[in-house]
Amino acid sequence: MISPGQEDTRLMQRVTAGDDADAALAELYDRYAARVFGVCLRILNEAQMAEDALQEVFVRVWERAHLYDAGRGNFLTWLMGITRNTCIDQLRRLKARPQAAEPPDETDAFSFEESLTDPGSAIPEIAALNERAALVRRALAALTPEQRQVIELSYFRGLTRREIARKLNWPEGTVHTRARLALQNLRLALHQLGLNADDL
Amino acid sequence: MSTEHVSDLLPLYALGALEPDEAGRVEAHLPVCAACRAEAAEFVAVAGSLAAAVPARQPRPAVRDALLRRIGQLGPRPMRRSAPPLPRTPVAPPPQSAKRRRARTWPAINWPMAAILAGLLGLLAWNINLTNRLNSLQQQVRAQSAAVALISSPLTLSMPLQGQGPAATASGRAYVDPDSRSIVLIVQNLEPLDEDHVYQAWVITDDGPKSAGTVNVTRSGWGMSWLSVPYPEQGQIGVSVEPAGGSEWPTEVVLLEAQDG
């Protein structure tokens, strides 16, 4: 029996081999579109923009598939890196516009997650993913509100250290310290819940 | 700069929140420091788990249809296949065409005027030399900043290079801008060369090797360089040892891009 990671690698090989490349891409889409779309919605906070971003993410996968290096990391990590960056790029373009979509209040961002959850999802795979997402959020709940703010503003809003310091009126060194504590505590909390960051 | 530890910067690096110059410092340091690299890998893995905290949401079927239509319109995706391996033995360069000389005649010269003119030209040359050196330094700084920005981008593609023959312990990594296909090459453990030799980079395709400039290495065998040729759709990158001034054809290959599969 092959693992999901091995199956991803095989699908990527089919995408690069050319014969049934579009069918292989469609399979990758079917496997991961819900996760990608969830992250797009989380960052962009608007359904139409999130759908556009979802499409853009898989076009980038298509265009860059031949340069994906399985030796550098698993496909999902690569895909989620593309997803985050596609959305953060879009978010930064939006900030230049006067009517940018306002994200939810950062202090309340992780309870905002709950509002996105569809607890009664009829699709078993999505229900399973969301159970795991709830576990990761439980790990996040072990962080202080300040540590969660750093994660929210950096990872999900694309702000840099200086922008975070300015926005929250913190010294820049404090941003460093809280980011370090946030990731260390998150790793510990994931471990205590029996989760390994590499497997997520 | 790359020898200075960057531990303080690693959490925000993993979260993608460093300023570009700081991210550049981290990327320049990681290839040469195993301790910081290991610490960075841990933070990156934890930061990567954040996406798993987000609930999955099923998109509308119309998005899938639109995507597949768009893929169909994009046409066949770029494929990559191996280029023939570089020759390991020296190959004679193609003959150079002889340069033609043109005879010129000059008008009669006023020698005192010429002396003054020569002095002025000397001052001008000195001034130009200083300006050129300053410009050159500024260009180097700009090139290095751009290189570290490319390396630090999560979307940048990366291909390993393996040491060959006597340089088996050497390694390298080519970082490719996915849009412009510009290449930054980082090499490690390459033996420093005497002044009569240089490391020369190549981009090798079915059409043969194309020189991509020289690569300077430090005494510890580390080097970073922009290559002058974009990354090919099909082919690979190599580095060879050549006589000072470079060659038109690779002589002794010491690093070669690892091939898929």
Structure tokens at B124: 């001008």
Chain B environment of A116 (Cβ under 8 Å): 54-55, 57
Closest CA to A143 of A183, A116, A95: A183
Chain B environment of A18 (Cβ under 8 Å): 76-77, 79
Nearest CA in chain B to A57: B67
Structure tokens at A163: 């922008």
CB contact under 8 A, A84 and B46: no
A41 in Cβ contact with B57 (< 8 Å): yes
Contacts of A4 (CB under 8 A, 6+ apart): A31
Chain B environment of A175 (Cβ under 8 Å): 12, 17
B208: left (phi over 0), alpha (psi -120 to 50) or beta: left
**pLDDT surpassing 80 at residue B133:** no
Closest CA to A87 of A44, A58, A46: A44
Note down pLDDT in tens along chain A; length 200 residues: 667 778 899 999 899 887 789 999 999 999 999 999 999 999 998 999 999 999 999 999 998 888 788 876 788 888 998 999 899 989 888 876 544 444 544 444 554 454 444 544 556 677 777 788 888 888 999 899 999 999 999 999 999 999 999 999 999 999 999 999 999 999 999 998 888 776 66
Residue A154 DSSP one-character state: I
If you average pLDDT over every residue of chain B, what do you get? 77
Of the candidates B11, B42, B53, which has its C-beta nearest A133's C-beta?
Answer: B53
Best to test chain A binding among B67, B74, B82, B155 (most A CBs inside 10 Å):
B67
Nearest-neighbour CA in chain B from A143: distance (Å) = 13
Any A CB within 8 A of B180 CB: no
Q: How far is residue B43's CA from residue B10's CA, in Å, rounded to a whole number?
A: 7
**One-letter amino acid identity for B254?**
V
CB contact under 8 A, A37 and B160: no
A80 in Cβ contact with B48 (< 8 Å): yes
Strand-pair partners of B227: none
B237 in Cβ contact with B202 (< 8 Å): yes
CB contact under 8 A, B56 and A126: yes
B127 in Cβ contact with B119 (< 8 Å): no
Q: How far is residue A88's CA from residue A84's CA, in Å, rounded to a whole number?
A: 6
Helix (H) or strand (E) holding B197: strand B197-205
B184: left (phi over 0), alpha (psi -120 to 50) or beta: beta
Q: Is the dihedral of CA A149, A150, A154, A159 positive or negative?
A: positive
Closest CA to A71 of B66, B257, B198: B257
CB contact under 8 A, A22 and B63: no
CB contact under 8 A, A155 and B16: yes
CB contact under 8 A, A197 and B74: no
Sheet with B183-188: list strands edge to edge: B208-215, B197-205, B236-243, B252-257, B157-163, B171-176, B183-188, B223-226
CB contact under 8 A, B77 and A18: yes
Q: How many CB pairs under 8 A join A and B?
A: 196
Strand-pair partners of B237: B203
Structure tokens at B44: 């990156």
Q: Per mean pLDDT, which range of A162-176, B11-25, B149-163 is the poorest?
A: B149-163
Q: How far is residue A178's CA from residue B59's CA, in Å, rounded to a whole number?
A: 35
Q: Per mean pLDDT, which range of A87-96, B91-100, B209-218 is the poorest?
A: B91-100
pLDDT class of B11 with cuts at 50, 70, 90 = very high
Best to test chain B binding among A160, A166, A174, A187 (most B CBs inside 10 Å):
A160
Orientation angle between helical segments A161-168 and A172-192, nearest 10 degrees: 100
**pLDDT surpassing 50 at residue B73:** yes
CB contact under 8 A, A116 and B54: yes
CB contact under 8 A, B155 and A113: no
B198 in Cβ contact with B56 (< 8 Å): no
What ipTM does the predicted assembly reach?
A: 0.82
